Every structure is written in structure tokens, then in C-alpha cells.
Amino acid sequence: MREFKRLFKLAKPRHFQKGEVIFRQDGKTEYLVFLTKGMAKLVYNNHGKDLILTVEKAQALLGLSNILNEDMNLASIIAIEDCKGCVADMEKFKETMVKNRSFMFEVMRISTRMFRRSIFNFISIAQKQSNGRIADVLIHLAENVYNSRSFYLLLSRQELADFAGCSKELLIRTLQNFCSDGIIRVSGKNMEILDMERLHTISRIG
């Protein structure tokens, strides 16, 4: 969209190192970040316990929740790998949204996508057993992040556990069971989903 190009043409380029906090939970920020390269995780911390709500890859617009939430970050956004992006002023974004209804709806569409995935993950954690939750995480990574059934996993085992809302030990044991059952193949950080249909079945009945 023309408005996006205009806003980010004048935006400041930024590099984010692996593990760097792009937005901090409960912090106040006055900018948005358009991620042009790399991958980031949306993390909610509750009394010292991290829960990964979703994972976003470039190209993605980060910080949209702040537009409707008085500039306060509902959760942290952290770089999973070295990332590139550009920073745009929040007020200019709001001004453009007020003046251009089609731009406003496009921004809301993009923001809804991230929050829809986060909500679905909350539902998965609340209603499913660990097998179903871990299956959901693997399906999301394959279908929405890597767009492939075979990928190099940037997330650590602990981060996968935080994503699935379970302990690291339970995650590792479940992955081993999935391997034994011929559902996935894991070699270090390389993962391949061998039976996507069965993984979806585990997700449904989990």
C-alpha cells in the first residue's frame, strides 16, 4: 500500500541482535517496527514465567497493539535471530489512519492476524493436553513461519516448551515419542515433519 511505503521510506533503519528486546512488556513506546529480515517472538511474562504467544517472521509490522492500548506494550517482542527493520513514528501512523480509512482497515487486518494466532495458542494451552499443544506448535512453525515441512529450528528446546506451555523435559519426551512413531524426524536443530496428517489428528484430539 502506498501509505506504508511513504511512512517507512523516511523511517530509520535498525538492526536487532539475537535475544534483543524490540518491545518490552508494560513499557511505553512511541514507534512501530517493520521487520524486513529475521524472526521475532511475542512473549508474555507472568510472575517470572515466560509464555510465547506466537512467532512472526519478516515481513511483519510489530507494535500494532500499542495503537489501541495507550502506547503500552501488552507483551515483549524479542528477536529470535539477528534481525533488520525500520522504525516509524507512532503518531504519524495514527494520523494516516484517521485520514485514510482503507489504510486503517489494512493496519487492523495485519494486527488481527498476530492476535488471532496468539488467542489460538491460549486456547490450545487452556484446553489441550501436552501432545496436542506441541503438535499445534509444530504445525504453526511448518505452515505459518517456515512454509515447509523441513526446517532449521531457530527456537531452543526451552523456547519450544514456553511456546507449548509445558516443561522442557515434557517437550523433549514428546518429541522423542513423535520420532519413534514416525511423525517427525529430528537431528539437532533440523526438523522434518514426516506425517502432517497424523500431526493434525493429534492436534484435534489433543
Banded pLDDT at 8 (limits 50, 70, 90): low
- Among the listed residues 99, 98, 54, the one whose alpha carbon sits nearest the alpha carbon of residue 78: 54
Distances (CA, A) of 74 to 29, 55, 144, 179: 11, 15, 22, 36
Q: What is the pLDDT of residues 114-145, one digit of tens each?
A: 666 666 655 666 568 889 999 999 999 999 89
What pTM, to 2 d.p., does this model score? 0.79
Phi, psi for residue 144 in degrees, rounded to 5: -115, -20
Q: Enumerate domains of the chain plus CATH numbers.
A: 2-125 (2.60.120.10), 129-205 (1.10.10.10)
Position with higher pLDDT, 203 vs 102: 203
The reported pLDDT for the residue numbered 47 is 84
The reported pLDDT for the residue numbered 60 is 82
Distance CA 156, CA 52 (A): 12
User: What number is the average pLDDT over the span 42-54?
Assistant: 87
Residue 138: exposed, middle, or buried by beta-carbon count in 10 A (0-12, 13-18, 19+)? buried
The reported pLDDT for the residue numbered 114 is 65
Q: What is the pLDDT of residues 145-192, one digit of tens each?
A: 999 999 999 999 999 999 998 999 999 999 999 999 999 999 999 999
Q: Are 113 and 144 in contact (CB under 8 A)?
A: no
Q: What is the pLDDT of residues 74-119, one digit of tens each?
A: 889 999 999 998 888 777 777 777 777 777 777 776 666 666 666 6
Give every CB contact of residue 62 below 8 A, 6+ residues apart in sequence: 22, 23, 32, 33, 34, 35, 40, 56, 77, 85
- The 3-class secondary structure across 142-163, one letter per residue, is HHHHCCCCEEECCCCHHHHHHH
Q: Are 60 and 111 in contact (CB under 8 A)?
A: no
Q: Are 85 and 110 in contact (CB under 8 A)?
A: no
Distance CA 34, CA 3 (A): 13
The lowest-confidence range among 25-34, 128-137, 178-187, 194-203 is: 25-34
Distance CA 14, CA 119 (A): 29
Q: Choose from 8-17, 73-82, 189-198 the range with maximum mean pLDDT.
A: 189-198
Q: Are 24 and 76 in contact (CB under 8 A)?
A: yes
The reported pLDDT for the residue numbered 123 is 61
User: What number is the average pLDDT over the span 9-26?
Assistant: 87
